[in-house]
């Protein structure tokens, strides 16, 4: 079944795959979600548990997704259908692909809404640079944004247009060109913000908060949140890495090495984001603990308002968030687009990408309205946006990751796995397969049961 190239195109080099996969992994989960998850769960203790989850579960499943994708060279659904047939097992395993694609669509629907917030704030700070009014009451500003469905819909639509513009162009002309520019821009922006954090004189306290563990904070809930963050951050269970793996050259590219590079870079960005955010928070006397999601949209603008270069810093920071969100959203839209092209033979640019983007935009309106007009609507105690996030993030992603681990560890034969991982020492290969067969499924199952409880 294995072929040399994908009909959708191929990455031109290993570096391009690493940039694209890192772009998929690095998103709001790193720069927005990771800092407030850290602040709400004991600082360094959470970071250490998170790193353990990456090593024991995240990296093994990441490698499995890339391996399956590179072997199949098609969209996740068709790759898994062919692999299941060749392995002589049931067609039920194709459900992994369906779970991943549906989860990606659901996540992109509300992710685009949140990403629209970052565009709105970047625009506000850009106007302030040129004499516009600044944000003097961040809480009121954020509340006013959430209360305005038309404003939210505009920024949601703009972000979806930015996303589909890249995906519609294909692998070489779209995805690769985008990450070639966006990822270096993201790293430069992040380093510039860390540099300013150093100038505050509070970097030492920020590093202590991030890396000094308070073991009294460790409990079952912290573990579950860390595992969930690892999945969300590495884009696992939604088949984006499987899709990107389908475009990965076979010659001269080591799956373990690129997998480790992606995991390390993703984690480094999350930690650097903390080192950029917490010195600012601490320097203005704000409490880094208990900030919640509003840490980025209310606490930080309060600090920016007191800074002499607050408008510039705010523009750079929310520009960074927008770029990170953009690189992730591209990967969320790609699997469904690739499947439509294969299934119906439609044009990527004119039909497939636009159809999937339109569907995500329409679903996103549910999240927009749940913040204002339909804020009274509750599904299992959550608003509509929260319910969609629960189904996609907390249930579908762990379920997809669990099935990927079981399929790779127990169904795919050892010869196929060894062929894709031929450069991996036997001891490491055995360890990786054992993690997929035993450790990862057990840990992910705990997270899944907890989410359903």
In a domain, 7, yes or no: no
Identify the domain containing residue 349 by its residue range.
14-452
In a domain, 174, yes or no: yes
pLDDT tens digits for the chain (453 residues)?
557 789 999 999 989 999 999 999 888 778 877 877 787 787 788 888 898 999 999 999 999 999 999 999 999 999 999 999 999 998 899 999 999 999 999 999 999 999 999 999 999 999 999 988 889 899 899 999 999 999 999 999 999 999 999 999 999 899 999 999 999 999 998 999 899 889 989 999 988 888 887 777 778 888 888 888 887 778 888 999 999 999 999 887 899 999 999 999 988 888 898 898 889 888 888 766 655 566 788 888 988 888 888 999 999 999 999 999 999 999 999 999 999 999 999 999 889 999 999 999 999 999 999 999 999 999 999 999 999 999 998 899 999 999 999 999 999 999 999 999 999 999 999 999 999 999 999 989 988 888 777
DSSP one-letter string for 58-113: IHHHHHHHHHHHHHH-S-HHHHHHHHHHHTT--GGGGHHHHHHHHHHHHHHHHHHH
In a domain, 208, yes or no: yes
In a domain, 5, yes or no: no
In a domain, 433, yes or no: yes
Q: What is the structure's pLDDT at 220?
A: 80
In a domain, 402, yes or no: yes
Q: What is the structure's pLDDT at 125?
A: 96
Report yes or no on whether pTM surpasses 0.75. Answer: yes
Q: Please report, for the domain that includes residue 331, its CATH number.
A: 1.10.4160
Please check whether residue 122 is in contact with residue 322, taking contact to mean a CB–CB distance below 8 angstroms. yes
Q: What is the structure's pLDDT at 36?
A: 73
Residue 379 phi, psi dihedral angles, 5° rounding: -125, 110
DSSP one-letter string for 271-313: HHHHHHHHHHHHHTT---TT--THIIIIIHHHHHHHSTTHHHH
Please check whether residue 203 is in contact with residue 275, taking contact to mean a CB–CB distance below 8 angstroms. yes
3-state secondary structure of 43: strand
Please check whether residue 30 is in contact with residue 183, taking contact to mean a CB–CB distance below 8 angstroms. no
Q: What is the structure's pLDDT at 178?
A: 94
In a domain, 322, yes or no: yes
Closest to 223 (Cα-Cα) out of 433, 36, 436, 37? 37
In a domain, 326, yes or no: yes
Cα 417 to its chain centre, rounded Å, is 26
Domains held by the chain: number: 1
């Amino acid at each position: 079944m294995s072929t040399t190239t994908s009909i959708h195109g191929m990455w031109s080099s290993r570096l391009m795959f690493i940039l694209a996969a890192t772009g998929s992994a690095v998103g709001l989960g790193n720069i927005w979600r990771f800092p407030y998850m850290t602040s709400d769960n004991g600082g360094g203790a959470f970071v250490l548990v998170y790193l353990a989850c990456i090593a024991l579960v995240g990296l093994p499943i990441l490698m499995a997704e890339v391996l399956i994708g590179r072997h199949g060279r098609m969209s996740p659904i068709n790759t898994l259908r062919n692999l299941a047939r060749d392995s002589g097992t049931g067609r039920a395993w194709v459900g992994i692909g369906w779970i991943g694609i549906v989860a990606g669509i659901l996540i992109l629907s509300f992710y685009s809404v949140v990403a629209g917030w970052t565009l709105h704030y970047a625009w506000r700070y850009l106007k302030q640079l040129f004499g516009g009014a600044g944000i003097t009451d961040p809480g009121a500003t954020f509340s006013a944004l959430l209360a305005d469905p038309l404003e939210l819909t505009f920024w949601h639509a703009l972000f979806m247009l930015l996303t589909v513009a890249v995906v519609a162009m294909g692998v070489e002309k779209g995805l690769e060109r985008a990450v070639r520019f966006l990822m270096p821009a993201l790293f430069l922006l992040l380093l510039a913000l860390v540099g300013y954090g150093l100038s505050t004189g509070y970097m030492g306290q920020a590093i202590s908060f991030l890396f000094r563990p308070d073991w009294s904070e460790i409990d079952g809930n912290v573990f579950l949140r860390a595992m969930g963050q690892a999945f969300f951050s590495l884009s696992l269970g939604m088949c984006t890495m499987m899709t990107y793996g389908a475009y990965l050259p076979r010659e001269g590219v080591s799956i373990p090495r690129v997998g480790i590079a992606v995991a390390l870079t993703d984690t480094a960005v999350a930690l650097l984001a903390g080192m950029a955010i917490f010195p600012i928070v601490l320097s203005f006397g704000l409490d880094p603990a208990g900030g919640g999601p509003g840490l980025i949209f209310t606490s930080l603008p309060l600090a920016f308002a007191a800074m002499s270069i607050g408008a510039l810093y705010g523009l750079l920071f929310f520009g960074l968030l927008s770029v990170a969100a953009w690189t992730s959203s591209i990967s969320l839209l790609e699997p469904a687009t690739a499947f439509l092209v294969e299934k119906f033979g439609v044009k990527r640019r004119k039909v497939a990408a636009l159809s999937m983007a339109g569907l995500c935009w329409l679903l996103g309106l549910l999240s927009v309205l749940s913040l204002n007009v339909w804020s009274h609507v509750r599904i299992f105690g959550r608003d509509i946006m929260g319910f969609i996030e629960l189904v996609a993030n907390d249930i579908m992603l762990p379920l997809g990751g669990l099935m990927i681990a079981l399929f790779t560890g127990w169904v795919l034969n050892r010869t196929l796995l060894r062929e894709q991982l031929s450069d991996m020492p036997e001891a490491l290969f055995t360890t990786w397969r054992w993690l997929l067969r035993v450790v990862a499924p057990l840990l992910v199952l705990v997270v899944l049961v907890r989410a359903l409880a």
